[in-house]
Amino acid sequence: MNTDSVMTDSHRLVLASASPRRLQLLQQIGIEPYALKPADLDETPQKNEQPRALAKRLAEAKAEAVYKACKDDPDLAGCYYLAADTVVAVGRRILPKTELAEEASQCLTLLSGRTHKVFSGISLITPKGKTRTKVVTTKVRFKRLNHDIDPYIASGEWRGKAGGYAIQGIAGTFVVNLVGSYSSVVGLPLHETANLLIGEGYPLRLKWLGGVE
């Protein structure tokens, strides 16, 4: 096997995201996306929409939007398209992707000393146009954040993060217990993503060897 080979055109992957965390997670399992094509969507929950349903809908919508925009581009023909969305919820209450310090402070106050759920939807569109979607649920319990909230807000790590925190940063010190997928809370459940890709013919294991199918 020639370890200097590259993957064939039919095994290229487009990541429908601008998230550096998702890119890093894909790279962690040996995937270097051929292109990064973030989807610009309204992520506002629909009336009475449940957190799990929101994560599924947005992941599918992102994948579909990028697929439709790129499928006629000859340079991107025959690619896999992967999208993801992460939703943090307390009960049925969906927490925002915080852009304001006040929002982040409210989220962290709500999460303090209690268990919440993180729903990560992943959606894969294959070169044949087939869509596969999965939602992964993880339970996360935070310690009481009596003296932690203001310093954390000052760090700026909360900006743009679902629920007002990034578990891979300082907020990792808040986590008392986690049941489920750590990588899902970061932004992309690696086990489920790998299974979706392998199940649809993406030669992930050969990629680890630098080979082609």
Query: What pLDDT was estimated at residue 61?
Result: 97
Query: What pLDDT was estimated at residue 46?
Result: 94
Q: Would you call 85 a catalytic residue per the annotation?
A: yes
15 within some domain: yes
213 within some domain: no
20 within some domain: yes
Query: What pLDDT was estimated at residue 11?
Result: 85
166 within some domain: yes
- The catalytically annotated residue of 40, 42, 85, 148 is 85
128 within some domain: yes
Query: What pLDDT was estimated at residue 65?
Result: 96
4 within some domain: no
Number of domains in the chain: 1
Query: What pLDDT was estimated at residue 4?
Result: 37
Query: What pLDDT was estimated at residue 10?
Result: 55
CATH number at residue 106: 3.90.950.10
CA distance 169 to 152: 10
Q: Which domain holds residue 110?
A: 9-208
1 within some domain: no
Measure the N-to-C terminal CA separation of the chain; round to a whole number of Å. Answer: 10
pLDDT tens for residues 147-195? 999 999 999 999 999 999 999 999 999 999 999 999 999 999 999 999 9
97 within some domain: yes
Q: Which residue stretches of the chain have pLDDT < 70?
A: 1-10, 210-213
pTM of the model: 0.90
